[in-house]
Amino acid sequence: MTPLRIGTRKSPLALWQAERVRSLLGERGLAAELVRITTTGDRVLDRPLAQVGGKGLFVKELEEALADGRADLAVHSAKDVPYALPEGFGICAFLAREDPRDALVAPRARRFADLPRGARVGTSSLRRGMQLLAARPDLVIVPVRGNVQTRLARAAELDAVVLALAGVRRLGLEDQVTEVLPVELSLPAAGQGAMAIEARPGTRGEGASRPLDHADTSRCVRAERVVLAKLLGSCTVPIAAHAVVDGAGLWLRALVGAPDGSRVVRAERRGSDPETLGAEVAAALLEAGAGPLLEAVRAPGLSRP
């Protein structure tokens, strides 16, 4: 049988993730090969994602490969997948989640609390920057993009960088992390730490991928993504959403904030159905005043990815 073709970005982390999926398929007796694709998000590195179209730029070219038959399935970091997929595409599986928290790399200060006043902290995320400023308004947030290794290297010229622990750990670079930030300080992005497999419904790629779905991860990430859907969230808006298994149900926390951290609106709920829970938390955020914050920071044309 012809090997399955796995569409993937070319970054070291993306290739690690695609190889992980290939290994899991191999354990099920299915051969697969990688189709390496450069996305717009990989090519445009001199501007924040919010200015060039959002995280969907890491996904679009992979979806084109699915559409024209170059790939049978595509592997993404779940946090990079917009909540609204094009017609004819679907997420088949969310793989077991790695630690979703954010990591601080601060070679001199070591810990967030010990960063000097006015410290320059690099991050590619409005969500991270907003929460760090809410805790420490004195900080200077410096936009930093590129692959994991590129961002880690910037820590030497800045006071610190903050990035997802999952990617650092997957690449075997966790020894550079000086502190894992608690979710009370930096609530993760929806889907952070999870890998998503996308395919066209009814295809061989979908059938091969569905058995790889991790039930608990899937429930959590689906609840988080409903928050984004209800709030029309994208990387142009500082939104965090993080769910954990809580007994037989889920505990979902989410927040929306002003980019400068001057105001943060939070909500949390417990429940059993991911879609219902996500909708309830989104409604609670709006009731608490998230609407004006969302409208104030949403860039024209980017509110509905």
- Tens of pLDDT along 92-122? 999 999 999 999 999 999 999 999 999 999 9
Tens of pLDDT, residue by residue over 11-41, are 999 999 999 999 999 999 999 999 999 876 5
pLDDT score of 145: 86
* Residue of 123, 104, 115 lying closest to 179 (CA atoms): 104
pLDDT score of 182: 98
The boundaries of every CATH 3.40.190.10 domain in the chain are: 1-97+194-213, 102-180
pLDDT at residue 49 greater than cutoff 60: no
pLDDT score of 296: 84
What's the sign of the alpha-carbon dihedral 242, 161, 126, 76?
negative
**Cα–Cα distances in angstroms (integers) from residue 128 to residues 92, 141, 153, 212, 298, in the given order:** 28, 9, 19, 30, 17
Q: What element of type H or E holds 264?
A: strand 264-271
Widest CA span in the chain: 61
pLDDT score of 298: 65
Which residue did the predictor score with more confidence, 53 or 15? 15
Query: Using alpha carbons only, what angle is made at residue 219 by residues 216 and 220, rounded to the nearest 5 degrees?
Result: 90
**Cα–Cα distances in angstroms (integers) from residue 288 to residues 256, 267, 302, in the given order:** 10, 8, 24
Q: What mean pLDDT comes out for the span 7-12?
A: 96
Instruction: Report pTM.
Output: 0.90
d(CA 11, CA 148): 9
pLDDT score of 302: 42
pLDDT score of 39: 74
At 305, the pLDDT band (50, 70, 90 cuts) reads: very low
pLDDT score of 233: 62
Question: Which of the listed CATH numbers 3.40.309.10, 3.40.50.280, 3.30.70.360, 3.40.190.10 matches domain 102-180?
Answer: 3.40.190.10
The CATH fold assigned to 1-97+194-213 is: D-Maltodextrin-Binding Protein; domain 2 (3.40.190)
Q: What mean pLDDT comes out for the span 193-218?
A: 97
pLDDT score of 89: 96
At 46, the pLDDT band (50, 70, 90 cuts) reads: very low
pLDDT score of 117: 98
pLDDT score of 1: 81
d(CA 9, CA 76): 8
Q: Give percent above pLDDT 70 in the chain.
A: 90
d(CA 51, CA 28): 42
pLDDT score of 261: 96
Tens of pLDDT, residue by residue over 145-190, are 899 999 999 999 999 999 999 999 999 999 999 999 999 999 999 9
The boundaries of every CATH 3.30.160.40 domain in the chain are: 214-305
* CATH 3.30.160.40 assigned to 214-305: yes
Q: Give percent above pLDDT 90 in the chain.
A: 86
At 50, the pLDDT band (50, 70, 90 cuts) reads: low
pLDDT score of 119: 98
Tens of pLDDT, residue by residue over 220-255, are 999 999 999 999 865 577 999 999 999 999 999 999
Q: What's 41-91 look like in SS3? A: HHHCCCCCHHHHCCHHHHCHHHHHHHHCCCCCEEEEEHHHCCCCCCCCCEE
Active site residues per annotation: 80
Tens of pLDDT, residue by residue over 55-91, are 566 799 999 999 999 999 999 999 999 999 999 999 9
